[in-house]
Amino acid sequence: MRLSPYFPILDWIKTYRSETLINDGMAALIVTIMLIPQSLAYAMLAGLPPQIGLYASILPLIAYALFGTSRTLAVGPVAILSLMTAAAAGKIAPAGSEGYIEAALILAVLSGLFLMGLGLLRMGFLANFLSHPVISGFITASGVLIAASQLKHILGVSAHGHTLFEIIFSLITHLGDVNWPTLAIGAGALIFLFWMRGALKPLLAKLGMGEKLAAIITRAGPVFAVIASILLVAGLHLDGAGVKVLGAVPRDLPTLGLPRFDADLWMQLAGSAALISLIGFVESVSVAQTLAAKRRQRIDPNQELIGLGAASLSAGLSSGYPVTGGLARSAVNFDAGAQTPAAGVFTAIGIALATLFLTPYLYFLPQAVLAATIIVAVLSLVNIAEIFKVWRYSKADFAAMGATISVTLSFGVEIGVLTGVGLSLILHLYNTSKPHFAIVGQVPGTEHFRNIKRHDVLTQTKILTVRVDESLYFANARFLEETIYQLLAEQPQVKHFILMCPAVNRIDASGLESLEAINHRLKDAGVTLNLSEVKGPVMDGLKRTDFLDHLNGQVFLSQFEAVKTLEARV
Amino acid sequence: MRLSPYFPILDWIKTYRSETLINDGMAALIVTIMLIPQSLAYAMLAGLPPQIGLYASILPLIAYALFGTSRTLAVGPVAILSLMTAAAAGKIAPAGSEGYIEAALILAVLSGLFLMGLGLLRMGFLANFLSHPVISGFITASGVLIAASQLKHILGVSAHGHTLFEIIFSLITHLGDVNWPTLAIGAGALIFLFWMRGALKPLLAKLGMGEKLAAIITRAGPVFAVIASILLVAGLHLDGAGVKVLGAVPRDLPTLGLPRFDADLWMQLAGSAALISLIGFVESVSVAQTLAAKRRQRIDPNQELIGLGAASLSAGLSSGYPVTGGLARSAVNFDAGAQTPAAGVFTAIGIALATLFLTPYLYFLPQAVLAATIIVAVLSLVNIAEIFKVWRYSKADFAAMGATISVTLSFGVEIGVLTGVGLSLILHLYNTSKPHFAIVGQVPGTEHFRNIKRHDVLTQTKILTVRVDESLYFANARFLEETIYQLLAEQPQVKHFILMCPAVNRIDASGLESLEAINHRLKDAGVTLNLSEVKGPVMDGLKRTDFLDHLNGQVFLSQFEAVKTLEARV
């Protein structure tokens, strides 16, 4: 029985019915059709041969079905991880070379091991380091970068670069080489796909189609574009006119095996793999949580680490590259009625069959159409409204978000997300290192005490109460001392000082050190030090020390009681 | 007038009297006598020629007197920074070589620039990242490392190593080479110095001597040991018997100039310089604050950054190495009656004179005696009681402290302190990412609400109040959602949910995102979401968004008011 949390499949396999099978099978069919062009497109975005994208959509899906906790998450290659893989592997070898493909494999293995390790150590909380504004800013900036990087396929020119500036500059210098048939196909595909996204769903609804079916058809836009463009290119022999096509894809299933072990190379890729893991995890978990909430199901973030880790690891062992749960694909899976992770297994079978039998028919698929599907997909990730919302709400959050966006666009994805994470941690510590504090008084007619600056409250001249609005920990220990000494220096008539602690959630060793110093100093100055509304867990900690024995004053359950008692003594 | 905060000298120079001059001069004389052997010893510890230690005790003291805010801090070479300098410069070139000396100079320049930069940007709060247990553990471990590294001088053998294990192993393999006259002098000096520390002060007090004078004489122990050992070695010609002596020290004043600029080398040293700066700053500020508090003076941490930065920078420009305020030396300066930073200027003049005229008399000073003074000084930094205290109070703090100590001893100083800082940040975030929360009820007869698990309180079946004991920010945003959904799932009869917010000191964009999700979900479930005791600054933030417009419930000033109002509606 102890195995069950690590094998969520045991929870659902025993209640599996033929009805569930039909639902899962239907969803798998739709997701497979959608996933074929996606896999090819994302492999292209990652700078990898097309079959790598297909391989990343077979075994990883089965692994996730065994270990993942979401019933409806659709795992596979995604845009952001493809971009990050390209950035990391590009540091090792030129795109498409053997060393590059090997690096992508190693990234998948390392990222799988890293995620599984975190899961086994129950360290899913590490993903919390990525704050909402940082993630949102990173995804927006990556979306812009990816869209820009695909423009060369739409224009039919060769361009390169890892930053927005480099890409745009490179595109401009190559503008003279535009291949017009390619541009016609690419622009046509773009317009068609944007129309599918924006206008088709309301149209279908108007025609009386059910909402779910309309959503699925809308999302299947790329499939229509793929079929139409293949027919067009093959019919008009446009590949002879400079339109780059997918070409021959090997009709083999992936071979299993560990990538070559080279300690130096693996170490070089370890940092990138860790970043890929965390970004992929956060992206996937937020999708999985949203979908689970809709059906009142739950996911277990620590087990998700194991599930996604197993998926990436098996991608690395089967000639794939890093994968995670994708947003659009999971939504289609959900809408199409997937009930259990078995849908993922059926999808994997579908992709394997497609690899064996369908790829010859994709020979004439223009790269421009794949690029168009990528552009349309990633531009839906760009969220400008969110930037304005964060700006209005919190300048500190905006600073972290703005730094993430601008550094990602100007210097690349890895340094971008690291800057955002670093900055949000520093800002958080900065904020807590200078906590808000208030001198408080009694709200008349109540036992409630509030800030004298914001409320009309009653105070006493010989009793000073300060409510400090932060846990007392190393980052603000000195600040508290300074503040209290200064307040007491300004009000020499005070005989009783009360530190009101409803907001003190923790006192660490540095905070205790400060409290002891304050107690000592106040004793010298003839002022008592009292605490009120100290929480249970904080009090438990203080009781383990001798602080309370030496306390030059009392601890009161409530602030009201403290003032009543001390007033009687003045 | 605007200049005054950057030139604290302007505050005290105008009230300078002849009486102050006498006090400062007297203190300077005593500190100079103490500083001569210290400068030589710490230069030896840093692996630098003796004159570098003297040079680091001239110009830096004048620079600090101009820019520092402590009236009594005595700046100069200190043990911990000497060890850190040796570790950093040792990565560039072999100890004592020209490249090594150059690296030490560059470290001083970089660390000076770094500190001044932080000061000008008012970023003194960065030092708060070094928590009390990490600093305390680091100093203890460094003390042990330094003491171990000096044993070779006491034994008269050659040994090497950067970690405790390496040093001990190296000592053991060289035990056969012990030079007995050296050991006799070294052990004698050790015993004498420990006796001075432990037994002399009570003895002098018993003989009727004033406490301050007794303290000064006790601290001057090394001076007696130096004089006695010079006479002994010179008289018995022990340098011929293998006793290593200080030898000839160049009788020149330092030459001014910038170390050679080599971008690669400077970059290589930048990280170490930043660490040296922060550690030096924290050590110095805690000494300065302790001493200032005794005379009800204040220091300004941001201006201290500038003062200490100017000191280190001028050390780098005058053939010195990184300096900071020293514990023992500052205490002597304080006890000896120093009134203003002018005492530092007089000390600098004293050291300059000693460099010119006294060094020939130090020729026969045995290295073993310098090593003994180092050992006695650093062992007083080792604080084992503190380790036990932190263990009892907080296991998280102990983990950070223990990691700092063991990594410092096993792998070196830089990685040790970085591990400690990293771990304490991670533990802090971990703690705040799973905040304590309590279901609360009314304490009978009061308007006060406390945890139902710890207190006998009144509750209502249709109203659920949760007090979450943490700011709502990115690290715990998801946790809050999960917790509330689970509590409400367990109590389906609840109609009104109150989130009691006295401990919520901040809601960042991620926290707001969660609150919005909770509001949405509770609305669907037919439960109202109410907030009570939201603090002013938090409320200000919420008012800048449309959250309150969509809130499916109310915000109440006090928890008592919330329950009273909602009870009437049930």
DSSP code for A157: -
| Alpha-carbon distance values, B76 to B63, B178, B230, B370, B517 (Å) | 11, 33, 24, 17, 57
pLDDT tens sequence across A403-450: 999 999 999 888 998 899 888 888 887 888 888 899 999 999 899 999
Domains and CATH numbers, chain A: 22-90+98-426 (no CATH), 437-569 (3.30.750.24)
B509 has a chain A CB within 8 A of its CB? yes
Phi-psi region of A457 (alpha: psi -120 to 50; beta: other; left: phi over 0): beta
Arithmetic mean of pLDDT over chain B: 89
CB contact under 8 A, A509 and B132: yes
pLDDT tens sequence across A48-82: 999 999 999 999 999 999 999 898 999 999 999 99
The mean pLDDT value for B453-482 works out to 89
A435 has a chain B CB within 8 A of its CB? yes
What is the per-residue pLDDT for A1? Answer: 45
Nearest to A469 among B396, B505, B557 (CB): B505
Total length of chain B:
570
CB contact under 8 A, B443 and A397: no
Residues of B in contact with A429 (CB under 8 A): 125, 128-129, 425
* Confidence category of residue A296, pLDDT binned at 50, 70, 90: low
The mean pLDDT value for B310-327 works out to 94
pLDDT tens sequence across A18-32: 888 988 998 899 899
Per DSSP, the residues of B134-145 read: HHHHHHHHHHHH
Residue of A nearest to B452 (CA): A536
B433 has a chain A CB within 8 A of its CB? yes
What is the per-residue pLDDT for B3? Answer: 63
∠ CA B346-B350-B353 to the nearest 5 degrees?
135
B425 has a chain A CB within 8 A of its CB? yes
The mean pLDDT value for A188-214 works out to 86
The ipTM (two decimal places) reads: 0.73
CB A460 within 8 A of CB A563: yes
pLDDT tens sequence across A495-550: 999 999 999 998 988 889 889 989 988 888 889 999 999 999 999 999 988 899 99
∠ CA B237-B241-B242 to the nearest 5 degrees?
120
A505 has a chain B CB within 8 A of its CB? yes
Quick one: which of A257, A361, A305, A389 has its CA closest to A121? Answer: A305
Rounded to 5 degrees, φ, ψ at B225 are: -60, -40
pLDDT tens sequence across B495-535: 999 999 999 998 988 889 889 989 988 888 889 999 999 99
CB contact under 8 A, A558 and B448: yes
Distance CA A509, CA A531 (A): 18
pLDDT at B46 over 50: yes
CB B500 within 8 A of CB B466: yes
Distance from CA of B221 to the nearest CA of A (A): 31
pLDDT at B1 over 50: no
Distance from CA of B40 to the nearest CA of A (A): 34
CB contact under 8 A, B509 and A558: no
What residue has token string 């308007």? B447
Mutation pick from A121, A285, A299, A393 vs chain B, by most beta carbons of B within 10 Å, is A393
Phi-psi region of A189 (alpha: psi -120 to 50; beta: other; left: phi over 0): alpha
CB A271 within 8 A of CB A209: no
Residue of A nearest to B507 (CA): A394
CB contact under 8 A, A434 and B125: yes
What is the per-residue pLDDT for B296? Answer: 67
Distance CA A35, CA B39 (A): 71
Distance CA B80, CA B286 (A): 15
Distance CA B535, CA A450 (A): 9
pLDDT at A219 over 80: no
3-state SS class at B450: strand
CB contact under 8 A, A389 and B428: no
3-state DSSP of B317-353: HCCCCCCEECHHHHHHHHHCCCCCCHHHHHHHHHHHH
Q: What is the share, in percent, of chain B residues with pLDDT greater than 90?
A: 53
Could you say which residues from 532 to 551 on chain A have a Cβ atom under 8 Å away from some Cβ of chain B?
A: 533, 535-537, 541, 544-545
Distance CA A376, CA A367 (A): 14
Could you say which residues from 103 to 162 on chain B have a Cβ atom under 8 Å away from some Cβ of chain A?
A: 125, 128-134
Arithmetic mean of pLDDT over chain A: 90
Nearest to A505 among B430, B435, B473 (CB): B435
What is the distance of C-alpha A144 from the center of its chain? 17
pLDDT tens sequence across A320-365: 999 999 888 888 888 888 889 999 999 999 999 999 999 999 999 9
The mean pLDDT value for B185-212 works out to 87
3-state SS class at B237: coil
Quick one: which of B195, B299, B178 has its CA closest to B243? Answer: B178
pLDDT tens sequence across A465-475: 999 999 998 88
| Alpha-carbon distance values, A86 to A81, A281, A287 (Å) | 8, 18, 23
pLDDT at A42 over 90: yes
| Alpha-carbon distance values, B385 to A62, A497, B140, B404 (Å) | 56, 31, 11, 16
Per DSSP, the residues of A177-193 read: G--HHHHHHHHHHHHHH
CB B154 within 8 A of CB B187: yes
- Quick one: CA torsion of B476, B481, B487, B491, rounded to 10 degrees? 160
What is the per-residue pLDDT for A273? Answer: 95
Mutation pick from B69, B128, B290, B294 vs chain A, by most beta carbons of A within 10 Å, is B128
CB contact under 8 A, B557 and A434: no
Mutation pick from B285, B474, B490, B539 vs chain A, by most beta carbons of A within 10 Å, is B474
* Confidence category of residue A6, pLDDT binned at 50, 70, 90: confident
